[in-house]
Amino acid sequence: MPQQINKKILLYFFLFIILGTFNNKNLNKFEFPKINRINISGFETHNNNFQEKLEILKLNNLFLLKKSQIEELFDTNNLIEEYKIFKKYPSSLEVEIIKTKFLALLNIDGKTFFVGSNGKLIETKDNLNDLPYIFGNLDMNSFLSLKRIIDNSTLKFKEIKSLYFFPSGRWDVELSSGILIKLPNEKLKESLDLSLNLLNNEKFVNVKLIDVRQKNQVIVNEQ
């Protein structure tokens, strides 16, 4: 640890000498070492546009590289959930990336998109059968809120086949078994837990629909 502190002191001293030697006019002409290496961990992409932007980033020098220049590159990539950036002087940049999780599928104007846990859409030609399909004019905040509620309920998200979003802000949940649960606008966790309790009850073995939209009322349709 003391050795690292000494290295930082020497670096700051070196920069102080340089910056103190040149005025602003001369500083703009001074050639700092350019970035010669960008190491990215946790993420792979074959997106040519992203790769080109990475190469453009190498035209900058590490000392004068602005945070906004880096954020602009990574914030616009919908596959990225989180990232951490470390400057390794004199000329390397290290980036640790957490890729977003694909939560569901959505079709917009004939195109298929993954819905990411970062709240962004990623266009795809793949069709992952283990992901639920969302129907309706999606409100992203409402979906992410529903996902958190489901994760805290007795229902497992992987048991969901489809999700239907309505203009009123309400959701219907279709399970892989074909059972449809019609949810209210409020108290979603309680409604989900109640529905699952009914499904686990031996008296309701042929249930196809559970309607819990009305307060203090449950409607069950059996096959």
Residue 33 has a pLDDT of 72
Query: Count of alpha carbons within 13 Å of 161, Cβ hemisphere only?
Result: 8
Residue 3 has a pLDDT of 47
Q: What element of type H or E holds 121?
A: strand 121-124
- All residue ranges of the chain with pLDDT < 50 are 1-5, 21-24, 27
Topology at the third CATH level for domain 31-99? Ubiquitin-like (UB roll) (3.10.20)
Two domains, one topology: 31-99 and 102-222? no
The class that CATH gives domain 102-222 is alpha beta
Query: Which whole-number Å values give the CA distances from 27 to 17, 23, 24, in the listed order?
Result: 12, 6, 5
Q: pTM here?
A: 0.77
Amino acid occupying residue 51: Q
Residue 30 has a pLDDT of 53
Query: Which tokens is 41 given?
Result: 């961990």
CA distance 156 to 175: 10
Query: Which tokens is 93 given?
Result: 């940049």
Residue 55 has a pLDDT of 77
Chain centroid to Cα 70, Å, comes to 18
Q: Is 24 exposed, middle or buried (0-12, 13-18, 19+ CB in 10 A)?
A: exposed
- Kindly list the domain boundaries of the chain, sorted by start residue: 31-99, 102-222
Say if strands 180-182 and 207-211 run parallel, antiparallel, or are unpaired. parallel
Amino acid occupying residue 117: S
